[in-house]
Amino acid sequence: MDAVRTFVESQPLFALFLTIAIGYLIGEINVKGVALGSGAVLFVGLAVGAFAPKSTPPALLGTLGLLMFLYGIGIQYGAQFFRGLTSREGMKANAAAGLGVIASGLVACAFIHFGATLADALGMFAGSGTSTASLQVAIASMKSSDAAVAYSVAYPFGVAGPILFIYALTLALKVEISKPPAKLLESAEIALRNASLFGLSVSELLTRLPAGVAIAAVRRAHHNQLITDDFLLRADDVLLVTATDPRLLGEATALCGELQPGRMTSHREDLDYMRVFASNPAVVGMTLGSLRYPEGLSCAVVHVRRGDTDLLSSPDLILEAGDRVGLLVGRAHQASVRAFFGDSIRGTADLSFICLGIGAAAGLLVGAIPLRFPGLGVFSLGLAALLLVALCLGKVRRSGPFVWVMPLSANLVLRNLGLTIFLAQVGIACGPKFVATVGTAGPLLLLYGAITLLVLVGVTAICCLWIFKLSFDTAVGVICGATGNPAILAFANRVAPTDQPDIMYAMIFPSMTIVKVLFVQIAIAIAAG
């Protein structure tokens, strides 16, 4: 066994990837429909670190992994993040998380009356919220590393505790959230028979149709033709109507006339359907309404397929690299359309390393800026600022020649790889500290850390589910953002496989990082006073 330990300690990268492999194997184990997924990598890392204390990979490797994860999250959910800040749901989510964070901080400070020091209290508070920024502020403000001991005790609770809490909450509430089916484009050919619609323009007809229905083309006088908003409709026109919900097509048919399948699709001499990849930098990051086709080229975007979802064409829909664009175009113009959009399958995985480098560097620069608050001292946001910058770039999407967003497939690879490396490195690094601290600090400090964490997740969950009446997938996302560690988010995505956990995490994590840092500063200022 000593020979194995010596070998593992001499090969940190071997230890890292062994942790990742074993972690994912364990993460695939399914217990009553719930699996740990990539979160198991952290627990395997703790075991490897405890077995071979000198096998810890460089800390910079873990920081790089966390950077990749946070940047990918921010870039993908920037637009949703800013929309959420102004929505009622977003304000409720931030309020719930804020109450949970402040309550846990007050409870941690209350343990001072039971023998804990201020450093212990703030360390437990930072560890239960897995907030390195808060720990850094406590150490710098108190000019002592005493808070790191309690932090190392509470940190594993701060990661494992919320995972177990969400698991228990799922079982208690008997919540089963299936992954929503992908929205797929449906079409119908409808002959116009309703006399009250004759003479209307296409834009006027759309106001009478259900929301989510679009008209792609019309057949008139034995010819399929593209339409504009001011195109006037006549009796017996055949409309090519599209929607992602078949029920909407039924409502449109009932209003307009009758189905006549095959009237348009069996005649492709005038217009044909084609699908191209959006890979040309000139179109990526542009709205469909702002595209300027070459002179003489006439085509219509029917839908955009992003990932596994079809998005209906609209003037404000922004193209992203790797999107598959479905168009109606004359056969003579198909080559020109391919050249205009790029149509390279490599676009589904390519990303701009120039934009990635500029965005990450800007985030790190902002994170290093010292922030001064009168009476509270100086602190910096660290990697929380990187997430904030990425969220801003994700909302902007494009600045001149710089396209900040990246293809969905590339984004998923970037952030999942980063998350896995981060969890493995942190687990291995914390293994020896956790075992040593548990052995020396005694059960009392462990109990205090566990209570601090339970208050954080418990208050946040109660506020989300029973006070603000948020949905379960939204609530688990808020819990992830309030506690902060990406491993919790990885598990939440297994329990609630919708976009809400990711969106809430991106919304809550930056704001709660600031709240945690301010709480530490205020607690130290009050104690000093």
Query: For position 181, what pLDDT does the model report?
Result: 72
In this structure, the answer to whether residues 242 and 157 fall within a common structural domain is: no
In this structure, the answer to whether residues 359 and 457 fall within a common structural domain is: yes
User: Residue 196: which domain range?
Assistant: 186-348
In this structure, the answer to whether residues 243 and 359 fall within a common structural domain is: no
In sequence order, what are the residues at sequence separation of 6 or more whose Cβ sits closer than 8 angstroms to the Cβ of residue 276?
324, 325, 327, 337, 338, 341, 342, 343
The phi and psi torsions of 109 (rounded to 5 degrees) equal: -70, -30
In this structure, the answer to whether residues 160 and 195 fall within a common structural domain is: no
Instruction: Tell which of 348, 367, 394 closes a domain.
Output: 348
Query: For position 488, what pLDDT does the model report?
Result: 86
Question: In whole angstroms, what is the distance from residue 513 CA to residue 383 CA?
Answer: 10
Residue 91 belongs to some domain of the structure: yes
CB 299 within 8 A of CB 333: yes
Residue 49 belongs to some domain of the structure: no
In this structure, the answer to whether residues 317 and 198 fall within a common structural domain is: yes
Q: Are strands 377-379 and 371-373 parallel, antiparallel or unpaired?
A: antiparallel
Quote the number of domains for the chain. 2
CATH number, domain containing residue 263: 3.30.70.1450
Residue 34 belongs to some domain of the structure: no
DSSP assignment of 400-451:
TTEE----HHHHHHHHHHHHHHHHHHHHHHHHHHHHHHHHHHHHHHHHHHHH
User: At which residue do the structure tokens 């792609």 appear?
Assistant: 216
Nearest to 485 by CA among 410, 427, 412: 427
Query: For position 35, what pLDDT does the model report?
Result: 60
Question: In whole angstroms, what is the distance from residue 210 CA to residue 222 CA?
Answer: 28
Per the structure block, which two tokens stand in for 319? 């193209």
In this structure, the answer to whether residues 197 and 340 fall within a common structural domain is: yes
Question: In whole angstroms, what is the distance from residue 260 CA to residue 319 CA?
Answer: 33
In this structure, the answer to whether residues 244 and 300 fall within a common structural domain is: yes
Nearest to 501 by CA among 61, 28, 177: 177
Query: For position 518, what pLDDT does the model report?
Result: 80
Query: For position 203, what pLDDT does the model report?
Result: 92
Residue 30 belongs to some domain of the structure: no
Residue 432 belongs to some domain of the structure: no
Please tell me the number of Cα atoms within 13 Å of 174 on its side-chain side.
0
Query: For position 148, what pLDDT does the model report?
Result: 66
Instruction: Tell which of 322, 348, 374 closes a domain.
Output: 348
Residue 240 belongs to some domain of the structure: yes
Is pTM beyond 0.85? Reply is: no
3-state secondary structure of 504: helix
Residue 368 belongs to some domain of the structure: yes
In this structure, the answer to whether residues 326 and 368 fall within a common structural domain is: no
| Cα torsion angle, 463, 466, 468, 471, sign | positive
User: At which residue do the structure tokens 């020109």 appear?
Assistant: 336
Query: For position 484, what pLDDT does the model report?
Result: 82
| Cα torsion angle, 482, 488, 492, 495, sign | negative
Residue 265 belongs to some domain of the structure: yes
Q: Kindly give the confidence (pLDDT) of every residue in the chain, 529 residues in length, as a single tens digit, with 9 standing for 90 and above.
A: 888 888 988 899 999 999 999 988 987 887 665 566 676 787 788 889 888 888 889 988 888 988 898 898 888 878 777 877 788 999 999 999 999 999 999 999 999 998 888 988 998 998 898 886 677 677 767 777 677 667 777 877 888 889 889 989 998 998 888 777 777 889 999 999 999 999 999 999 999 999 889 999 999 988 999 988 889 999 999 999 999 888 899 999 999 999 999 898 888 888 999 999 998 888 988 899 999 998 888 899 999 998 778 888 988 998 888 889 999 998 889 999 999 999 987 766 677 889 999 999 999 999 888 877 666 567 677 777 888 899 899 888 888 888 888 888 888 888 889 878 987 887 788 778 767 766 666 578 788 989 999 999 999 999 999 999 999 999 999 999 999 877 788 888 888 888 889 888 878 887 887 788 789 878 887 887 6
In this structure, the answer to whether residues 202 and 330 fall within a common structural domain is: yes
In this structure, the answer to whether residues 91 and 171 fall within a common structural domain is: yes
In this structure, the answer to whether residues 202 and 175 fall within a common structural domain is: no
In this structure, the answer to whether residues 508 and 376 fall within a common structural domain is: yes
Instruction: Tell which of 296, 313, 348 closes a domain.
Output: 348
